[in-house]
Amino acid sequence: MSNKWEEILISSTPKAWVNKALKSLDILLIDHAHCEKKAATTAISLIHKYPHHNLADLLSPLAREELLHFEQVLDLIKKQGFKYRNLKSGKYAQTLYESASNKEPEKFQDILIICALIEARSCERFHALIPYLPSSLRNFYTKLYRAEARHCDLYLDLFTKIFKIDWTERLKELSQVESAFINMKDDLFRFHSGY
Ligand SMILES: [Fe+2]
Ligand SMILES: [Fe+2]
C-alpha cells in the first residue's frame, strides 16, 4: 500500500487536538459522520460539474463507499449512546476551497488536490487517535484509515490522468494553507479543526 498521505502533509496533528478529541468523543463521531456525508456529496458534485472528464467511473464508487462509511459512523454513534445531530461546520474545508483558483482548469486541479489533502488529513488523524481509542472504535478506525488512504491516492491519480502534469508545486502551496489551519488555535473542536 502506498502512503502518499504521509508525503503530502507537511505537519502532524498537534497533541492538544488529540487530547480534545479524546475528551469529546461524541462531537468527534458526529462531526466525522458529517465529513463522510460531505465526502460523498463532493464526489457527486464533481461528477455533475465536470461531465466531460468521465469522473463517474471512479467517483461514483467512491461516493457510495463514503455513504457506507456515513452509515457505519451513524451506527457507531448509536452504539456509543450518542445522538446524531447537525453541528455548526468548522472552517477547514471552506478555508481550503477559498484558496482554490477561480478559473478553469486550475480550479478543478486545485479541487482535486484539496480533496486529496482532506483525505490525507483524515488518515493522519485516524492514525494519531487509534492508539488511544477504546477497542470498539479502534478496529473501525483502522479499517477506515485504509479506505481514506486509497481515496487520497485516487484523487491524485485522477489529477495525473486528466491533466498529465505534475501536481507537486501546487500541492506545496495548498498544503501550506492546510497545515497553517491545523496548527491554529481553534475554539470550535471538529474532526478537521485546529487545536
Ligand atoms: Fe470515508
Ligand atoms: Fe474518503
CATH assignment of the domain containing 159: 1.20.1260.10
Do residues 30 and 145 lie in contact, with contact meaning Cβ atoms separated by under 8 Å?
A: no
Q: Would you say residue 115 lies in a domain?
A: yes
22-54 tens-digit pLDDT:
999 999 999 999 999 999 999 999 999 999 999
- CA distances 14 to 57, 69, 124, 125, 193, Å, are 37, 25, 11, 10, 11
- Please give the Cα distance from 87 to 117 (Å, whole number): 22
In the numeric block, the cell 464526489 is attached to 43
Q: Would you say residue 14 lies in a domain?
A: no
Ligand nearest to C-alpha 70: 1
Q: Would you say residue 1 lies in a domain?
A: no
39 CA to centre of ligand 2 in angstroms = 6
**Count of the separate structural domains present in the chain:** 1
Ligand nearest to C-alpha 153: 2
Where in the sequence is the domain holding 141, given as residue range(s)? Answer: 23-85+107-182
148 CA to centre of ligand 2 in angstroms = 4
Q: Would you say residue 97 lies in a domain?
A: no
Q: Give the cell for residue 76.
A: 457507531
Q: Would you say residue 11 lies in a domain?
A: no
pTM of this structure = 0.96
31 CA to centre of ligand 1 in angstroms = 12
- CA distances 61 to 57, 65, 115, 122, Å, are 7, 6, 16, 19
Q: Would you say residue 31 lies in a domain?
A: yes
Q: Would you say residue 189 lies in a domain?
A: no
72-107 tens-digit pLDDT:
999 999 999 999 999 999 999 999 999 999 999 999
139 CA to centre of ligand 1 in angstroms = 15
Q: State the pLDDT confidence band at 1, using cuts at 50, 70 and 90.
A: very low
Q: Would you say residue 155 lies in a domain?
A: yes
Ligand nearest to C-alpha 121: 2
